[in-house]
Amino acid sequence: MNALLEIGVEHLPARFMKPALTQLKTLAENLLTEKRISYQEVESFGTYRRLVVFIRGIAPKSDDIQKEVKGPPAKLLKDAQGNFTPQSAGFAQKNGIPAEKLVVKETEKGPFIFAEINIKGEKTAQLLPEIFTRIVTGLEFAKNMVWEDSQLKYGRPIRSLIGLYGTKVIKFTVAGVTSNRNTYPLSSFGRKPIKVAVADKDAYVELLRKQFPPVLVVPQERREALIKTVCAEADARGYQADLDEDLITETVWFTEHPVAVCGDFELKFLTLPKELVTTVLKKQIKMFPVLNKASELQPYFIAVRDGLSVNQNEVRDGFKKVMSARLSDAVFFFENDKKEGLQKFKEKLKGILFLEGLGSLYEKSERTQKLALWLCEKTAQKKIEETVSYAAGYAYADLASHVVYEFPELQGYMGGQYAALEGKKEEAKAMEEFYFPLTSSSPLPSTTAGNLVSLAGKIDTLVGNFLIGQIPTGSEDPFALRRQAFAVVRILLEKEIPVSLKDLIAQSAALYPSGTADKGLSQLPEFLFQRLSLVLEQRGHNPAALKAVCGWDTLPLKQVENLVCALETLTKDASFSAVLESAKRVSNILKKSEKVTGSADESLFELPAEKELKKTIDGISFAAQQKPSTTQEYLQQLSTFKAFKEPLEKFFTDVMVNVPDEKIRRNRLLLLAEVRTYLTQTVADITQL
């Protein structure tokens, strides 16, 4: 048998849908488990007006179980006459079994009386009303409302409920709505009930699909239909649709039967920057832009309506009018911005706060510019100094423009547009890509100047936030500092910037006014370390190797990665691994022993193994003074550790460290401490591997 629950709601916001469907499945599974009803599978699907749970292969009754209930201590089972005591008799009665059936079992606290009881399973049909009720009321939404007497808090009003078990209606009531077998057409197509005969997913999906207009209740099916109808419209004109993933997802959640409508718009709007037009289309009026093969914007839009393709011309004209009005607004903002220009915007930044206590965005621009120029110097990029200076100086200017005020997502891009209008081509590119990478895996800025400017801006933001103690905790990260830290790490690593994070942070902090209070800058390196660990893992490394790197923040990140590579290679080497094990042993011995300071006195050596070990240290410490940076160089240097293999093994075989003679014991500990220093503090702490 199967069971089916449909919650008929008024239009739920698209953003509620995915979390709701995920919760529905979990809620159903947990309740079935709680009620001991076995089942094959729970599925959840639906539209913004119907949330559906389908339980396949649900057992006709819940499982019987045997349960052991602990009672009083065993000595209270019977009295001296061999009769059950009032305590044990009462315990038996409470659990519904004769006292003769009580058993005594040993526990950690001595022997106790136990009652073994059988709990009979119940019929699924009798349990489903409660299960369905609790699934419906258990759903949580990002924002709730009330609308009827019971004051149930829900995303939107519930207007119908279906509860089916096989062909039988399961009666239950939530928020004044009692379940039956009725579902309803699309919202603009009346309330004539559609009767669902049986709890069967395929039959239910098919029943809705064959309505007029159809309801495509499975999201994946709706998505396919949407892409098909949108592409068909673009195809018919010889173009392709810009199938923006976010817009597709959103459209899937505000339609039950998507139908595309294609219209054209005036050519004059194509003189606007492309992203501005597509943003108006996608974000403001939820339409798909149309592109040619070269990805150039065409003067068409594809809107999606929910329902039928009747009266298409009038609907198209309506959409066209709205779109034209919105694009006219965009023209108005853009033209005003062009009249003002970047310098004027930058002046306006003086009136926009960066962070409480840390001045305006104008001051941030100035710091970013200085830091970017410092990076230029450090990376020997003198020839792009002018580009970097301009791009960094105006990087935030577009935040004061009309267009970015209206469309915040166009920050950076618009700055690039305005720079290009001033004839600054290279600068424009860097400014356009100032906020790159937009996600953890999306591309970095495409030019060197772009990367330096982007890096400078992000470090300044991180340093500023940490200075005022605005540090992300748990899921709280309103300024997306994790993403920015991720970006910093990626630029430093992928662009092989020859600057250490320690120097970069210090340089950036020094640009803040001297009296700035520091409420947490010391936590920034650890914050960045966590992102570095993730980035290295994504690049196929073992994050444990990073922990072994000594002074990771004093090295350029590419060098850190090289060292990590070398460590990974060496852990596969048998003799290196042997040294590694010995090093851990050395470390453990030292941890458990008394603290010693100084260096080992060779005159106190008694055994050849001690002398040999000392000789090994002296012999290779010269090599350690070379400054490696490539993986190969690190390999070479770390390979010198292998020289410790035999001396250490011999030492552990021949030498007893914890001897009663204090002088000898301390001297041996000193020798081991020297070994430890060498193996854990020169390049990498190999005991961390």
Q: Which stretch binds another protein (CB under 8 A): 25-33, 86-94, 144-152, 391-399?
A: 144-152
Phi-psi region of 613 (alpha: psi -120 to 50; beta: other; left: phi over 0): alpha
Which of 203, 308, 355, 589 contacts another protein by CB under 8 A?
A: 308
Q: Which stretch binds another protein (CB under 8 A): 99-107, 312-320, 481-489, 560-568?
A: 312-320
Nearest to another protein of 160, 298 (CB atom): 160
Residue among 120, 132, 155 nearest 36 (CA): 120
Nearest to another protein of 349, 493 (CB atom): 349
* Dist. CA 275–CA 342, nearest whole Å: 19
Which of 43, 56, 122, 147 contacts another protein by CB under 8 A?
A: 147
Nearest to another protein of 106, 314 (CB atom): 314
Rule CB under 8 A: say whether 659 interacts with another protein. Answer: no
Q: Which stretch binds another protein (CB under 8 A): 5-13, 231-239, 443-451, 675-683?
A: 5-13
Q: Which stretch binds another protein (CB under 8 A): 98-106, 141-149, 227-235, 666-674?
A: 141-149
Query: Mask: binding to another protein, 15-44, rule CB under 8 A, as x and -?
Result: x-----------------------------
Q: Which stretch binds another protein (CB under 8 A): 6-14, 87-95, 378-386, 654-662?
A: 6-14
> Tokens in use for 494?
């992928």
Neighbours of 649 (CB within 10 A): 15
Q: Which residues share a beta bridge with 290?
A: 241, 298
Nearest to another protein of 407, 552 (CB atom): 407
Nearest to another protein of 321, 615 (CB atom): 321
* Dist. CA 368–CA 221, nearest whole Å: 49
Which of 67, 94, 101, 143 contacts another protein by CB under 8 A?
A: 143
DSSP 72: E
Rule CB under 8 A: say whether 10 interacts with another protein. Answer: yes
Q: Which residues share a beta bridge with 360?
A: 353
DSSP assignment of 239-286 equals: -EE---HHHHHHHHTT-SSEEEEEEE--GGGGGS-HHHHHHIIIIIS-
Phi-psi region of 620 (alpha: psi -120 to 50; beta: other; left: phi over 0): alpha
CB of 311 to another protein, least distance (A): 4
Burial classification of residue 600, based on how many CB atoms lie within 10 Å of its CB (0-12 exposed, 13-18 middle, 19 or more buried)? buried
Which of 66, 80, 100, 151 contacts another protein by CB under 8 A?
A: 151
CB of 84 to another protein, least distance (A): 56
Rule CB under 8 A: say whether 471 interacts with another protein. Answer: no
For residue 546, what are the contacts with CB-CB under 8 A and spacing of at least 6? 529, 532, 533, 536, 552, 560, 564
* Dist. CA 328–CA 322, nearest whole Å: 10
- Quick one: CA torsion of 470, 471, 474, 480, rounded to 10 degrees? 80
CB of 315 to another protein, least distance (A): 5
Rule CB under 8 A: say whether 13 interacts with another protein. Answer: yes
* Dist. CA 156–CA 43, nearest whole Å: 22
Which of 117, 227, 231, 322 contacts another protein by CB under 8 A?
A: 322
Q: In what order do the strands lie in the sheet with 110-119?
A: 65-73, 110-119, 103-107
CB of 404 to another protein, least distance (A): 20
Which of 41, 148, 206, 618 contacts another protein by CB under 8 A?
A: 148
> Tokens in use for 275?
């992203």
Nearest to another protein of 256, 561 (CB atom): 256
CB of 319 to another protein, least distance (A): 4
Convert 502-521 to b/e letters by CB count within 10 Å (16 or more is b): eebbebbbebbeeebeeeeb
Site for another protein in 268-297 (CB under 8 A): 285, 287
* Dist. CA 250–CA 255, nearest whole Å: 9
- Angle formed at CA 323 by CA 317 and CA 326, multiple of 5 degrees: 145
Nearest to another protein of 317, 606 (CB atom): 317
Q: Which stretch binds another protein (CB under 8 A): 50-58, 301-309, 405-413, 580-588?
A: 301-309
* Dist. CA 529–CA 537, nearest whole Å: 12
Rule CB under 8 A: say whether 250 interacts with another protein. Answer: no
- Quick one: CA torsion of 677, 683, 687, 689, rounded to 10 degrees? 180
Residue among 311, 313, 314, 280 nearest 297 (CA): 280
CB of 398 to another protein, least distance (A): 23
- Chain-centroid distance of CA 391 in Å reads 31
CB of 174 to another protein, least distance (A): 13
**Size of site (CB under 8 A) for another protein:** 42
> Tokens in use for 582?
């010995």
Start-to-end CA distance of the chain, whole Å, equals 55
Rule CB under 8 A: say whether 214 interacts with another protein. Answer: no
Rule CB under 8 A: say whether 472 interacts with another protein. Answer: no
Nearest to another protein of 281, 291 (CB atom): 281
Which of 119, 310, 506, 659 contacts another protein by CB under 8 A?
A: 310
Half-sphere CA count of 242, side-chain side, radius 13 A: 25
Site for another protein in 171-190 (CB under 8 A): 176-177, 187-190
CB of 245 to another protein, least distance (A): 20
Rule CB under 8 A: say whether 145 interacts with another protein. Answer: yes
DSSP assignment of 3-64 equals: EEEEEEES---HHHHHHHHHHHHHHHHHHHHHTT---SEEEEEEETTEEEEEEES--SBPPP
CB of 257 to another protein, least distance (A): 11
Rule CB under 8 A: say whether 159 interacts with another protein. Answer: yes
Q: Which H or E run contains 165?
A: strand 158-165
Rule CB under 8 A: say whether 254 interacts with another protein. Answer: yes
Q: Which stretch binds another protein (CB under 8 A): 156-164, 411-419, 590-598, 624-632?
A: 156-164
Question: Which spans of this chain sit near another protein (rule: CB under 8 A)?
Answer: 10-11, 13-15, 143, 145-149, 151, 156-157, 159, 176-177, 187-191, 254, 261, 285, 287, 303, 305-308, 310-311, 314-315, 317-319, 321-323, 325
